């Protein structure tokens, strides 16, 4: 799961991405709305977290107008606003101009994580809280994985890779897609993806290997018995 954080406060530029990465999310940071535009054009995200107010050339700019404009253009990316503006009118404004959720500063890290995961699950494509394939069950809210009923402990990138593969069962997923979705910034070299896949396979032992390598292309989740 990949999140774009749009924030101009120096402290929150560190704290918000760190909080989301602690939940095994890939995070990119945009320091202003122009930077956000560029990153949204280049990358694919599951959610964007916007600070409400930015200072641009000595004037205050509300990101509400930016999100509202993009919504009118057909933009469907889930958006959570972070703001110190805590009146009822402010919150209503946030929802009416395209926000999916609205979190008041200061906030607890745990609440931020839960709210981001929640807006991603409910739109624009409804994502079930539990994903199943063969004998593997992945809980997107609790961030847990079970195989044949046994808890499997995964590291952050291993969980992210498995979640992405399970959301596209039996479809080819290229290394580039995995890098784009599961690693932030410029991403790693493709051999890091291969190492992560190897570790994931080792942790999922206890049944047939479900992660199939497609030579020269990427990987797919596949079981002779299928999803059932």
> Is 86 in the same domain as 181?
no
Residues of the chain with pLDDT > 70: what percent? Answer: 93
Q: What is the pLDDT of residues 73-104, one digit of tens each?
A: 878 899 999 988 878 888 888 888 888 899 98
Domain boundary among 104, 122, 140: 122
Taking Cα atoms as reference points, which of 160, 154, 112 lies closest to residue 140? 160
Residue by residue, DSSP assigns 158-217 as HHHHHHHHHTSTTS-EEHHHHHHHHS-TT---HHHHHHHHHHHHHHT-SSS--EEEETTT
Owning domain of residue 139: 130-221
Instruction: Give the domain CATH number at 150.
Output: 1.10.10.10
Checking if the pLDDT of 127 tops 80, the result is: no
Q: What is the pLDDT of residues 154-171, one digit of tens each?
A: 988 899 899 999 988 999
- The arrangement of strands across the sheet holding 79-83 comes to 26-30, 2-6, 47-51, 79-83, 101-104
> Is 75 in the same domain as 166?
no
**More confident site: 190 or 6:** 6
In a domain, 228, yes or no: no
> Is 40 in the same domain as 144?
no
In a domain, 99, yes or no: yes
> Is 145 in the same domain as 215?
yes
In a domain, 226, yes or no: no
Average pLDDT along the chain = 86
Q: Which residues of 5-41 are buried (b: 16+ CB within 10 A; e: fewer)?
A: bbbbbeebbeebbebbeebbbbbbbbebbeebeebbe
> Is 75 in the same domain as 148?
no
> Is 16 in the same domain as 104?
yes
Q: Is 160 exposed, middle or buried (0-12, 13-18, 19+ CB in 10 A)?
A: buried
In a domain, 185, yes or no: yes
> What's the number of domains the chain is made of?
2
| Residue 81 in tokens | 């606003």
Strand 47-51 to strand 2-6: parallel, antiparallel, or no bridges (unpaired)?
A: parallel
Handedness of CA 53, 104, 16, 129 (dihedral sign): negative
Q: How far is CA 211 from CA 131, 162, 195, 224, in A?
A: 16, 9, 13, 12
Identify the pLDDT of residue 224: 78
In a domain, 143, yes or no: yes
> Is 108 in the same domain as 171?
no
């Amino acid at each position: 799961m990949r999140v774009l954080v749009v924030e101009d406060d120096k402290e929150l530029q560190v704290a918000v991405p760190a909080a989301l990465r602690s939940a095994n999310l890939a995070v990119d940071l945009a320091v202003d709305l122009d930077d956000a535009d560029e990153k949204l054009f280049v990358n694919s995200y599951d959610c964007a977290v916007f600070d409400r107010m930015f200072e641009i050339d000595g004037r205050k700019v509300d990101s509400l107008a930016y999100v509202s404009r993009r919504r009118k253009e057909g933009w469907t990316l889930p958006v959570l606003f972070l703001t110190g503006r805590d009146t009822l009118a402010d919150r209503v404004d946030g929802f009416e101009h395209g926000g999916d959720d609205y979190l008041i500063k200061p906030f607890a890290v745990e609440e931020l994580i839960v709210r981001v995961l929640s807006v991603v699950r409910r739109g624009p494509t409804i994502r079930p809280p539990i994903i199943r394939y063969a004998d593997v069950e992945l809980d997107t809210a609790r961030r847990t994985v079970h195989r044949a009923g046994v808890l499997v402990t995964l590291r952050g990138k291993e969980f992210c890779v498995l979640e992405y593969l399970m959301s596209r069962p039996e479809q080819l997923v290229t290394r580039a897609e995995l890098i784009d979705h599961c690693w932030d910034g410029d991403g790693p070299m493709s051999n890091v993806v291969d190492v992560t896949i190897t570790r994931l396979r080792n942790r999922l032992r206890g049944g047939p290997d479900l992660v199939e390598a497609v030579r020269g292309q990427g990987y797919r989740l596949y079981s002779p018995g299928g999803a059932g």
